[in-house]
Amino acid sequence: MRATRLMVIALVSACSGDAARQDAAVDSAFRAELLARVAVDQAGRDTLVQALQRFGTLPESLVLRLQAVDSANTAWLALHVRERGFPTTAQIGVDGVKAALLLIQHADASPAFQAEMLPFVEKAHEAGDVEGQEFAMLTDRVLRAQGRPQRYGTQMSMHDGVVRIDPIEDSAGVDARRAALGLTSLSQYKRVLDSVYGAPRRP
């Protein structure tokens, strides 16, 4: 059977006015770059989903193009985070942090980087900067890359055109874990996945 995995808080120190304006400019530029990269990321994935819905398969040319985008985004973001730390909403706003998280989620070709980022994302979630769904998705991606069952059931694969949730640890308790993070039940989530990635539409 053919299976395909689908690619789917700040401490402000006192400073001079000039330094503050310079920091703001740097953060603004970083946010703008993040949003621009996410726009390209999402356009590529939208095209891939449309092809999947129409033909029931993932065109290799589109997959390779998206992998190149993901690789470039990962290298760029990893350099920034390792030099300056994980970005916060105080620095780049809610949409900026969401953009950074999306690029991390899509860094599947660099599982070590995703694992490196997970503790920072967990702390940001505890501080209210990161939503439960974003933390759950990265947790499951890291676990899956390590060959372990996922915890929240956010990751899935396509088996001959059918969406299937990847293995889950303690599956009986998954809905309780999802609810603790503000997520819908696994069955509701599965219905959403089916509506997006399900059987191809026929003209």
Residue spans of the domains in the chain: they are 21-117, 131-203
- The structure's pTM equals 0.78
Angle formed by the axes of helices 111-126 and 89-105, to 10°? 140
Spatial distance between the Cα atoms of 9 and 82, rounded to a whole number of angstroms: 17
Which stretch of DSSP H or E encloses residue 196? helix 186-197
Conformational region of residue 147, where left means phi above 0, alpha means psi within -120 to 50, and beta covers everything else: left
Each residue's pLDDT, cut to its tens digit, for the chain (203 residues) gives 344 444 442 222 223 333 333 344 458 999 999 999 999 999 999 998 888 778 877 788 999 999 999 999 999 999 999 898 899 999 999 999 999 999 999 999 999 999 999 999 999 999 999 999 999 999 999 999 999 999 999 999 877 778 899 999 999 999 999 999 999 999 999 999 888 776 554 44
Phi-psi region of 161 (alpha: psi -120 to 50; beta: other; left: phi over 0): left
